[in-house]
Amino acid sequence: MTAETKLDRVGVVVHPRRDIDDAMDRLRAWADAAGAEIVQVQMPGVDRVVAEPATAESCDLVAALGGDGTTLAALHAAGPAGRPVLGVACGSLGALTATSGDQVDDALRAIGAGDWQPRRLPGIAVAAEAAEPVVALNDFVVVRKGASQIAVAIEVDGELFIRFAGDGIVIATPLGSSAYTMAAGGPIIAPGTDSIVLTPLAPHGGTCPPLVVGCESELRVTIEPGWYGARAELDGHVHDLPGSTLSMTWRAGHATLVTLAGAETLLTGLRRRRILMDSPRVLARDDRAPSVTRR
């Protein structure tokens, strides 16, 4: 539990299409009762307008109305400003959302009373030689644009790990390790483990296992685009590839996510959403258990 939290101005980041009317009605009713102001932190590509525009810096809290993608967008806006983000699920509860749309007013009352915990999320700063770094909270991905492969070389602390040709590479935080990384056959990194995981995508031949790198290591990835080139994706959004040689730097506590009392853990959430599932043999054994006498 933290100290009582001032909530004079709450910014909202909204999903471009999901039904958020009930959540907004509850937000406005809470604001009227609390004497607070609701404003909108606008995101690129989102034309939906629900409140007067404002910056994340001017808010005490940013509420993301939508799902995990909307919450990630809010974290990118609020992280550099040092503002916490409340993820509000307008649909199914995800890994980053702390409450649902029909309970957002209760969540704000709890936050105002100090009944919440800050969850500090690390990021990975990705920089080319002469470019400003971009920070990924989930993952930074480089993939081929067309039919030709791209070549990737990975160096750790100045030592070559592997060179491979394939579809690309996923570079992820522990948070992002349960997303694209897991889907590509990489490991899940347990929460609280300060490390970066690199997962090759469809490598053609050779031995190219995923690599887990400590947060203090010097990490460099060199990209050789194929005939059709390569593109980058930053937390699921297409991004200009900043250069052919990329340096990765750990950013501890880059953004802050609101966690409420009784919040489920990451692994519990993955199991609830059936992203993690027990093997059929184990489940079949559980089904037989009531009718089988164990000795």
Burial class (CB in 10 A: 0-12, 13-18, 19+), 82: exposed
Rg (CA), the chain: 21
Task: Reduce the DSSP state of residue 192 to 3 states and report it.
Answer: coil
Give yes or no: 157 in active site. no
E strand segments, 25-180: 37-40, 61-66, 84-89, 99-100, 116-127, 134-136, 139-144, 150-156, 159-166, 168-172
Tokens of 58: 């001017």
Give the HSE-up count for residue 201: Cα atoms under 13 Å, Cβ half-sphere: 17
Task: Reduce the DSSP state of residue 9 to 3 states and report it.
Answer: strand
Separation of alpha carbons 237 and 180, rounded Å: 13
From the list 68, 105, 139, 235, the catalytic residue is 68
Q: Which residues are catalytic?
A: 68
